[in-house]
Every structure is written in C-alpha cells, then in structure tokens.
Amino acid sequence: QKEVEQDPGPLSVPEGAIVSLNCTYSNSAFQYFMWYRQYSRKGPELLMYTYSSGNKEDGRFTAQVDKSSKYISLFIRDSQPSDSATYLCAIGSGNTGKLIFGQGTTLQVKP
Amino acid sequence: GAVVSQHPSRVICKSGTSVKIECRSLDFQATTMFWYRQFPKQSLMLMATSNEGSKATYEQGVEKDKFLINHASLTLSTLTVTSAHPEDSSFYICSAIKVGSNQPQHFGDGTRLSIL
C-alpha cells in the first residue's frame, strides 16, 4: 500500500462546477497537509496548507482534513478553464520538511 | 513572497556531458532545499535533501556520485548530473523551505533535461 493514494483521473467538468479532489493516507503520524497545483512543464504551486483537522478556505478553494479517517480533500467552487491542471496532495511529518506526494489528479474544466 | 528560481529551464546536451542546475530562493533564506525528479504523467520523486553547510541526504536508490548536490549558502543549491546518459533525461525540480518556520515547500519551475 502506498503511503499516499490519489486517483490520477483524468477528471473533466463543465465550467462553474464544484470540483472535489481527494487523497487518503496510511500513516497517522502525518502532521501537515498541502495541496499544490501544477501546470504542464511548470513546477508545483502551493494552493493550501493546514496542520489540523477541519476546513480551511481561501477564495474558491477549500481544503478539508479528516485525521480520524486519514482523508484529505480539496474543493474548488465555480471552476474555471484556468483551473485545468494537475493537483497534487502532499503530506508530511516531523522536522525534516520532507513531503510525500500523491500521484496527482489531472483536472480539465471545459468552457 | 517565497519565490524560488531555477536555472536553466531547458537543457539539451550530448551523452557524457555533465549538467549543472541552480536553485535559488530569491526573497527568503532557505534552511533546506529538496531536489525532485518527475517523469511524464507521474508524481514527484524525492532525490535528496540539501541542508546549507552540510552533506546532502540522498533517498534510497539515488546515486550520490551521479547526482552531486552542493548547498553553499542559504539561498543557493546546485544539482550536477555527472556524465549524463539518455536515461537521465527527465524534469528536475527543486524546492525550498524558509529558515526558522514550519512552512511548506516552495518550488522552482523545473529544468527539463534531454540527453541525446
């Protein structure tokens, strides 16, 4: 079993839809949780990060963490064609700063 | 803030050449920088962790003599792919963490390396 599981998709939605992206993880020691967006041929761009269970909102993006279920989600409201990218969850623990990445979910938002 | 610059963005060279990639934190000091490798449609695979002033820590299966890492200052780390071969062709990405804070990694825009 991989430490972090993420459905690679691809996921295709119409413009304006609510998008739900999810990851599960196996190690309860993980302490911090991040979502990155990666456009083709670019480095990942940090979208959200959190250290606790619950919801964190930033504009159209909401990150949700459920430590009891070892499940994290990213919701995108009012999705736009410019949101089309690969979304990577990343999870870490300890003081090294090292992250374990999910496989990434490719999202396409159609106009 | 938290801008990471990576250079060059694209390298094409002959087999046997050594290639150096630079990673700079432009507006912050980085205690730690990470080097990743990414194949098409795959996730990031951590190659090594680079701490300023000390030797890099390599992940299992990564040849330290093949991928030389130097972290000479709090704003610069370099990755040198020595005697590169076609199988070393990949997308190499660096990231950095700010000094003294439990902050997430910020990534450069990657270097696409093609070995002919």
**Which contacts of A49-56 are long-range, i.e. CB under 8 A and separated by 24 or more positions?**
A49/B104, A51/B102
pLDDT (0 to 100) of residue B98: 83
pLDDT, tens only, A65-79? 999 999 999 999 999
Is A3 touching B (CB cutoff 8 A)?
A: no
By the 8 A CB rule, do B10 and B90 touch? no
pLDDT (0 to 100) of residue A93: 79
* Whole-number Å distance between alpha carbons of A51 and A68: 14
| Ranges in chain B, pLDDT < 70 | 1-2, 100-102
A-chain residues near B93 (CB < 8 A)? 43-44
Structure-token pair, residue B8? 């060059």
How many Cβ contacts (< 8 angstroms) between chains A and B? 56
Is B113 touching A (CB cutoff 8 A)?
A: no
Q: Report the length, in residues, of chain A.
A: 111
pLDDT (0 to 100) of residue B99: 74
| Ranges in chain A, pLDDT < 70 | none
